Amino acid sequence: MKKLYPEIQQNIGERIRDLREKRKHTQESLALKSGLDRTYINSVENGRRNISVQALEKIILALDCTFKSFFSCELFNTKGKH
């Protein structure tokens, strides 16, 4: 069965949700801190939205994270996936 949304899109959403929950943010509090809409955060976390680099930066900063630490997890280990 073919996935509805690209894997990278789903992985980014999953990573945002994981970090948000670890930092005890609700979607609402993350939305307020990042300046984005809660429904936008929800659609990104569920892999339905192709997030822009600018919006990703806002979320990463709101999560007190860096791009390096955001992408330093098993979800983004692309070795052998070519």
Terminal-residue alpha carbon distance, the chain? 20
Residue 21 lies in a domain: yes
Q: pLDDT, tens digit, for every residue of 19-68? A: 999 999 999 999 999 999 999 999 999 999 999 999 999 999 999 999 99
The number of distinct structural domains making up the chain is: 1
Residue pair 5/29 in contact (Cβ under 8 Å)? The answer is no
Domain at 60, CATH number: 1.10.260.40
Q: Is residue 33 part of a domain?
A: yes
Residue 28 and residue 40 in contact, taking contact as beta carbons nearer than 8 Å: no
Tokens for 28?
A: 């609402």
The verdict on residue 61 lying in a domain is: yes
In a domain? residue 75: no
List the domain range (segments joined by +) for residue 50.
Answer: 7-68
At 4, the pLDDT band (50, 70, 90 cuts) reads confident
In a domain? residue 28: yes
